[in-house]
Amino acid sequence: MASFTLNRSVLSAADDPLDRSAVDPRAAENLMRWVGAAMFVLGSVTLLATLPMPDPNTSDHPALRVIAVLLGLGAVFVWTALPGRRWVARVTVVYGILLVSALMAVTRPIEGTPFFYLWPMVFSAYFCSRREVAADLLLMWTTLALALFVWSDDPMKPVLLISVGISVTLITLVVKLLAEHVTAVIRQLVTAADTDYLTGLLNRRAFDVEFRRQCDRARRSGLPLALAMFDLDHFKQVNDRHGHAVGDQVLRDFAELLERELRGGDTLARVGGEEFAVVLFGVELDDAVAFAERIGRELQTRGSGATPPLSASAGVAAMSEQEPNPPALLLVADRALYAAKAAGRRRVAVWDRGATRVEAHMAGERLAVDAA
Please write the tens of the pLDDT for every residue from 20-77.
Answer: 444 566 788 888 899 999 999 999 999 999 999 888 888 889 999 999 999 999 999 9
Please give the full DSSP string across 295-344, using - where no structure is assigned. HHHHHHT---SSS----EEEEEEE--SSS-SHHHHHHHHHHHHHHHHHTT
Work out the average pLDDT over 167-194: 92
Residue type, 169: T
Enter the pTM of the model.
Answer: 0.67
User: 29 or 3: which carries more pLDDT confidence?
Assistant: 29
pLDDT category of residue 289 using cuts at 50, 70 and 90? very high
List Cβ neighbours of 12 (8 Å cut-off, separation of 6 or more). Answer: 19, 180, 184
Predicted pLDDT at 367: 42
Q: Which of 29, 180, 210, 274 is catalytic?
A: 274
Predicted pLDDT at 75: 95
Helix (H, G, I), strand (E, B) or coil at 293: helix
Work out the average pLDDT over 174-194: 90
Least confident of 21-35, 109-123, 208-222, 286-300: 21-35
Please write the tens of the pLDDT for every residue from 313-325.
Answer: 999 999 988 888 8
Polymer length of the chain: 372
List Cβ neighbours of 326 (8 Å cut-off, separation of 6 or more). Answer: 208, 211, 212, 215
Taking the C-alpha atoms of residue 296 and residue 313, their distance in angstroms, rounded to an integer, is 8
Specify whether 29 is catalytic. Answer: no
| Burial of residue 236, with CB atoms counted within 10 A of its CB: 0-12 exposed, 13-18 middle, 19 or more buried | exposed
Neighbours of 57 (CB within 10 A): 9
Predicted pLDDT at 339: 93
- Asked if 295 and 314 touch (Cβ cutoff 8 Å), the reply is yes
Predicted pLDDT at 57: 83
Predicted pLDDT at 303: 57
Work out the average pLDDT over 167-179: 96
- Asked if 13 and 19 touch (Cβ cutoff 8 Å), the reply is yes
**3 pLDDT more than 70:** no
pLDDT category of residue 360 using cuts at 50, 70 and 90? low
pLDDT category of residue 269 using cuts at 50, 70 and 90? very high
